[in-house]
Structure 1
Amino acid sequence: MKISIYDTNDEMSKAAAELVAKQLAEKPASVICFPSGDSPTGMLNYIVQWANDGKIDLSQSFFIGLDEWVGMDENDQGSCKYYLKHTFFDKLNTKLINITLFDAKAEDLDAECERMNNFISSKGGLDIMIVGIGMNGHLGLNEPGTPFDLYAHRSELDPVTVQVGQKYFTKETALTEGITLGLKHLAEAGIAVLIATGAKKADIIHESLQGLVTPEVPASILQTLSNAFVLLDKDAASELEHGA
């Protein structure tokens, strides 16, 4: 695990986008997993800008969605699909054709997990997997207590996730279950990237990166990964012990 700390959110976002650009330069047909939420917006803005300016080529790449609220799709304003569509896909001048996202309205969600697992496996695994971190240490919707050795799976949402998740919706929304890629995907990715900004994430960043490695803090798995890059702004890193 390599930790890099930046003065601002913008600098961190640009550095994350540069990791993606480097991966694309080395392998144009890369398999890339993007998250939704507040953290990746700056990174995605850079990627859109560079793609539209012709500085990077996304046309051969395969884009995988990290997770989704069960029962929602791109028509639900707080959904992960909605976010990726409006923040990333729709802003590109060229339409992407290799997009694979969870169908969180599928009748058989376990089969949907298997579909995602099989697709990723068929492409040789994820080349780069980018995640944010929840206030409870979750990555994707791998909630506290999730075993490190799971691939895609259904997830009963932690109360913290349900509470924080309301910020993505314009009205109170019932959130009970998610569907998500697993921590095993992160461990097996060519590059695993965690991005985090803001002082509100400082406690959980410290606990995840310098506390006990335990499924009760899913992000603590990063301590065990030689393929992991952790990109933080100085506020998110403010409680890390000296020398981190």
Structure 2
Amino acid sequence: MEIIVTEDYESMSRSAAEIILRQLKDKPDSILGLATGSTPEGMYRCLIKAYEEGTADFSKVQTVNLDEYIGLKGTHPQSFRYYMDTKFFDWVNISKKSTYMPDGMELCIDKIADDYEKKLEEIGKRDIQILGIGGNGHIGFNEPADSFAEYVNVVELTEETIAANSRFFSDGNVPKRAVTMGIKDIMSAERIILIVSGSSKRGILKKALYGGITPKVPASILRLHPNLVVIADREAGEELEEVR
């Protein structure tokens, strides 16, 4: 495990983007696992800037996203498809046909999970998987539980997660279910980059990295990955010991 503590959010974002850019230089047809939320926005801005400056090419890249809300169309402003399009894909030379996400509008819940699991198998192993961490330790939408869900699954979101997401929904209609990659899916990536920002994540990040490995703190399983990079800004990572 490599732990990098940066001075601020911007430098955290640059550090994560630089790893991706090196990956694309070495392997232009890389498969990237991507995440949504406020934390990776700065990283996407850095990648867009690199493309605009002519130092990044996404034309051969394939991407798979961690999760999606159940019941939101891809055109809904709070869907993760809309997020990815407007925050990243629309600004670089990636083919939308090479960007994959779960179908939150599929009427058959079991089919949503089965179809996306098959897609992950079809695409193959991700070279890099980007992750954030929830306030309760969730990764993707794998909430604290009695056991780790291995494969793509539909989850009932906890009240804590719904409350945390409510700031994005002005009408108060926060989805209560989501479809997410499972833990085995996440752990199958060649490299995992966990990016964490802000003092509110300090306690759970320390617990995930130094506490027991337990499904009660889903992110704790990441310590078993052979190529985990944790990049935290100073507010989130001030109690961590840097390891390079």
Classify 1:43/1:114 alpha carbon distance in 2 versus 1 (closer, same or farther; 3 Å): same
Counterpart position of 1:177: 177
Classify 1:83/1:73 alpha carbon distance in 2 versus 1 (closer, same or farther; 3 Å): same
Counterpart position of 1:121: 121
The 5 A counterparts of 1:1-244 are 1-92=1-92, 95-145=95-145, 147-148=147-148, 150-240=150-240, 242=241
- What 5-or-longer segments of structure 1 have no aligned partner? none
Q: Distance in 1 between matches of 2:110 and 2:125?
A: 19
- For 2:170, the aligned partner's letter is T
Q: Distance in 1 between matches of 2:88 and 2:118?
A: 25
CA contact (8 A) 2:35 2:65 kept: yes
TM-score calculated relative to the size of structure 2: 0.94
- What 5-or-longer segments of structure 2 have no aligned partner? none
Select between 94-103 and 21-30 the one with higher mean Cα deviation: 94-103
Classify 1:147/1:132 alpha carbon distance in 2 versus 1 (closer, same or farther; 3 Å): same
- For 1:52, the aligned partner's letter is E
Q: Distance in 2 between matches of 1:113 and 1:68?
A: 11
Q: Distance in 2 between matches of 1:97 and 1:195?
A: 27
Q: Distance in 2 between matches of 1:123 and 1:104?
A: 19
CA RMSD of aligned residues (A): 1.7
Q: What is the CA-CA distance between 1:53 and the residue it aligns to?
A: 2.2
CA contact (8 A) 2:81 2:101 kept: yes
Q: What is the CA-CA distance between 1:148 and the residue it aligns to?
A: 3.4
Q: What is the CA-CA distance between 1:178 and the residue it aligns to?
A: 0.8
CA contact (8 A) 1:136 1:217 kept: yes
Q: What is the CA-CA distance between 1:174 and the residue it aligns to?
A: 3.5
Select between 154-163 and 73-82 the one with higher mean Cα deviation: 73-82
Q: Distance in 1 between matches of 2:32 and 2:242?
A: 31
Find the residue that maps to 1:50 and give its secondary structure.
helix
Q: Distance in 2 between matches of 1:119 and 1:229?
A: 26
CA contact (8 A) 1:52 1:93 kept: no
Find the residue that maps to 2:173 and give its secondary structure.
coil
TM-score calculated relative to the size of structure 1: 0.94
Q: Distance in 2 between matches of 1:9 and 1:17?
A: 12
- For 1:87, the aligned partner's letter is K
CA contact (8 A) 2:142 2:149 kept: no
Q: Distance in 1 between matches of 2:110 and 2:25?
A: 35
Q: Distance in 1 between matches of 2:242 and 2:17?
A: 25
Classify 1:93/1:25 alpha carbon distance in 2 versus 1 (closer, same or farther; 3 Å): closer
Q: Distance in 2 between matches of 1:125 and 1:93?
A: 22
Cα offsets for 1:81-104 (capped at 9, x unmatched): 121111111222565431111110
Q: What is the CA-CA distance between 1:75 and the residue it aligns to?
A: 2.4
Classify 1:147/1:160 alpha carbon distance in 2 versus 1 (closer, same or farther; 3 Å): same
Q: Distance in 2 between matches of 1:47 and 1:105?
A: 30
Q: What is the CA-CA distance between 1:164 and the residue it aligns to?
A: 0.2
Select between 78-87 and 31-40 the one with higher mean Cα deviation: 78-87
Q: What is the CA-CA distance between 1:117 and the residue it aligns to?
A: 1.7
- For 2:57, the aligned partner's letter is D
CA contact (8 A) 2:57 2:93 kept: no
Task: Count residues in correspondence.
Answer: 243
User: Percent of aligned pairs with the same residue?
Assistant: 32
